[in-house]
Structure 1
């Protein structure tokens, strides 16, 4: 939902996953297709794994990772509560930050997430309230 995209053209899908951490991209690639390549994006400090797959594209769409998601992303409705923490940690890793603070012996912190989709932010607030 944060470090990649789904591209769809004429019923064909291409999945892309990006990160500055090559080992992490390799791990994702190996999970999906060990024979595929990881490439470095030109003029950027990013590594990318791309895969054309109708099955993966349709699966990702069915689970809320839609093409052109930036402005219309929503919290995945089918996400079981048992996976909330994993999903949220992954989203923070891709499009957020954690700011730890240790003030006068009290440890506390804050979390920041970013999204171009106001609906997604509203969904996150609602899920956190629950």
Structure 2
């Protein structure tokens, strides 16, 4: 019998970032020990694999009835890590049930960066009337309570955030000034590697 992976359970910037990825694009099996992380971005799955020191292979899969396997995923088993995720608030079929998670305040910004890389976006556009440049950070979730918690955790940073209802999910959105504020916090000096395409997009708004 092959031994299960042994994830090192110790809070750090990298570990908190991975938890953010699991909270948004991860999945816990109902069997009590298997998990997977899925993304369109191969480099994001590779970062996930590297940060948890996993030896499992990355495969491809289809989603939502599609035939084309255009998503990358890594599957692994670890009873202790699975139980840890349950303890902090993640559950199987978490998409609509996820709420408050037990994330240390010192690592919340790393967790938030993981959430944005996982199921968020950073978007720039011109206002349709004034033509002034605009910037938005948006995080999507099927759970309204999860986004309410993130919004509350961000309030000490003097950002407001707005909750919106879309067709299949809820959206937490930040306006331009608040988005710039958050970008300068999650991409702090010497932050651990994250999804490169989002960082390169955000780089022009960073003050350091």
2:149 counterpart residue number: 123
Shift of 1:57: 0.8
CA deviation profile, 1:76-98 (whole Å, cap 9, x unmatched): 1x212111111111111111111
When the two structures are superposed, what TM-score results if normalisation uses the length of structure 2?
0.54
* Aligned length in residues: 127
Measure, in 1, the Cα distance between the counterparts of 2:134 and 2:106: 25
Classify 1:31/1:97 alpha carbon distance in 2 versus 1 (closer, same or farther; 3 Å): closer
Report whether the alignment pairs 1:67 with 2:67: no
Classify 1:30/1:110 alpha carbon distance in 2 versus 1 (closer, same or farther; 3 Å): closer
CA deviation profile, 1:15-69 (whole Å, cap 9, x unmatched): 1011122232123223435431110114231111001221121111112221111
- Asked if the contact 1:15/1:56 (under 8 Å) is kept, the reply is no
Which runs of 4 or more aligned residues in structure 1 lie more than 3 Å from their structure 2 counterparts after TM superposition? 30-34, 100-104
Measure, in 2, the Cα distance between the counterparts of 1:122 and 1:31: 28
Structure 1: unaligned runs, 5 residues or longer:
none
Structure 2: unaligned runs, 5 residues or longer:
1-22, 63-67, 157-208
Report whether the alignment pairs 1:82 with 2:102: no
- Asked if the contact 1:19/1:46 (under 8 Å) is kept, the reply is yes
Structure with the higher strand share, 1 or 2: 1
Task: Pick one of 10, 30, 52 that aligns with 1:8.
Answer: 30
Task: Pick one of 110, 122, 127 that aligns with 2:136.
Answer: 110
Classify 1:24/1:96 alpha carbon distance in 2 versus 1 (closer, same or farther; 3 Å): closer
- Asked if the contact 1:64/1:74 (under 8 Å) is kept, the reply is yes
Structure with the higher helix share, 1 or 2: 2
Classify 1:125/1:30 alpha carbon distance in 2 versus 1 (closer, same or farther; 3 Å): closer
